[in-house]
Amino acid sequence: MPIQTKICNTPEEVANTATNEIVDLIRNKPNGVLGLATGSTPVRTYAELIRINRAGLSFARLTTFNLDEYLGLEGSHNQSYRHFMNHLFFARTDIQLWNTHMPNGVAANPYLECEAFETKIQACGGVDLWLLGIGHNGHIAFNEPGSPPDSRTRIVDLAEGTIAANSRFFRDPKAVPLKALTAGIATISEARRILLLANGKAKSPAITRAVKDTPDPICPASFLQNHPDCTFIIDTEAASGL
Ligand code: PGA
């Protein structure tokens, strides 16, 4: 199934379009299961969702799953993805924290933690809609180039470019994590619907490869072509190679 594309004039329009899709899901299924992502791209969408939640649409019955977490970072670390989600989104809504799930970066046994994450998704009936970003190298979550389509939640080495991109957030460059726990491509692909957001010229090569090239581990996002209901919501700059 080809990836559907919605091309928007601005990043604001990308966020509004994604928000409308998520709001539709919540209205139709208030106890739905939402997959979420970190990174800078979905921040505007979270801000819109916060506004709508405060205007009266309850999120209290939702369950959420986040894609990934750095191995070795406590949830209280200001660069952990748990911290990012709690502060930027969850705590500003009526989402119940105990309904929010993401791999624990300091689990005593990170391998069992990965298995438990998959089991929790299954126990909740699967993800209704997973919101994704995309890396410049075509990664989705921390599925870096080379990740196979049947990959599941696991511990991965971060690509050098990803480590370099992340290092701007850490005061001590040696503290930048080199590994992460990430949902796999198969884990993500089992979501009933996928929305991938991207803005800006720098994302254009990855978007073009993901949409047009034969699916290949060199661009993990290209495996989304195998999904029956995947839409890329992207601005004109990110879409400029299509
Ligand atoms: P970004 O990251 O939203 O900060 O561009 C996306 C990603 O690396 O998946």
Q: Which residue among the candidates 48, 68, 113, 235 is catalytic per the annotation?
A: 68
- Are residues 224 and 161 in contact, defined by beta-carbon separation less than 8 angstroms? no
Q: What is the pLDDT of residue 17?
A: 98
Residue 134's pLDDT is what? 98
Report the alpha-carbon angle 1-43-232, nearest 5. 15
Query: What's residue 146's pLDDT?
Result: 97
The helix (run of H) or strand (run of E) holding residue 132 is strand 129-132
What is the chain's pLDDT, residue by residue, as a tens digit (242 residues)?
799 999 999 999 999 999 999 999 999 999 999 999 999 999 999 999 999 999 999 999 999 999 999 999 999 999 999 999 999 999 999 999 999 999 999 999 999 999 999 999 999 999 999 999 999 999 999 999 999 999 999 999 998 988 988 888 888 878 899 999 999 999 999 999 999 999 999 999 999 999 999 999 999 999 999 999 999 999 999 999 99
Confidence (pLDDT) at 173:
79
Quote the DSSP letter at residue 129: E
Do 103 and 113 meet the contact criterion of CB atoms below 8 Å apart?
yes
pLDDT of residue 171: 85
pLDDT at residue 195 in the model: 98
Kindly give the distance from the C-alpha atom of residue 131 to the centroid of ligand 1, in angstroms, as a whole number.
12
Compute, in angstroms, the gap from residue 143 CA to the centroid of ligand 1: 12
In angstroms, the CA 129 to CA 36 distance is 9
- Ligand 1 pocket mutation pick from 38, 67, 134, 169 by most atoms within 8 angstroms of CB: 134
- Asked about 16 being catalytic, the answer comes back as no
The pLDDT score that the predictor gives to residue 149 is: 98
Residue 170 has a pLDDT of: 86
**Residue 101: DSSP 8-state:** E
pLDDT for 162:
84
